Amino acid sequence: MSDDNGLKSSLELAMERFKKQDAKAGVTARPVSDEHKAAIAELRSFYDSKIAEQEILQQSALSRLVGGDRAELDEVSRQFRRERERFASERDAKVEAIRNQTVD
């Protein structure tokens, strides 16, 4: 980042404001260990593959319904969105749990 005397980008200014807000709220930044980073990367990869699997299943279901009822097409899309949101929610919760583990 730039020094205190030079011009700062809007990103740098925003980051400074966020750090001040976090300090006022009592939020402290904790470093994430290499072990935790690897676990998070593995977790993200796993859930990315699950979402990709759902996309393939959705495309397969949609191809079987070509020319079919619009309600059925909408239902397949709704089910896919629900599954994708569920996987994303699970992933985010597990990533947060890893981040909240104490660093030794």
Percentage helix, strand, coil for the chain under 3-state DSSP, each rounded to 5: 75, 0, 25
pLDDT value at position 4? Answer: 59
Mean pLDDT within 31-49: 92
Whether residue 27 has pLDDT greater than 50 = yes
- Residue 30 pLDDT > 50, yes or no? yes
Mean pLDDT value across residues 31-42: 90
Residue 68 has pLDDT above 50, yes or no: yes
- Identify whether residues 26 and 37 lie together within a single domain: no
> Residue 38 sits in which domain range?
31-100
- Residue 2: which pLDDT band, with cuts at 50, 70 and 90? very low
Shared-domain flag, residues 48 and 96: yes
Number of compact structural domains in the chain: 2
Contact 103, 30 (CB under 8 A): yes
How many secondary structure helices (H) and strands (E) does the chain include? 3, 0
Judgement on whether residues 46 and 68 belong to the same structural domain of the protein: yes
Say yes or no: 25 and 42 in one domain: no
Q: How far apart are CA 87 and CA 93, in angstroms?
A: 10
Claim to verify: residue 1 and residue 41 sit in the same structural domain: no
Give the range among 28-32, 55-59, 94-98 with minimum mean pLDDT: 28-32
Residues 84 and 55 in one domain: yes
Residues 25 and 39 in one domain: no
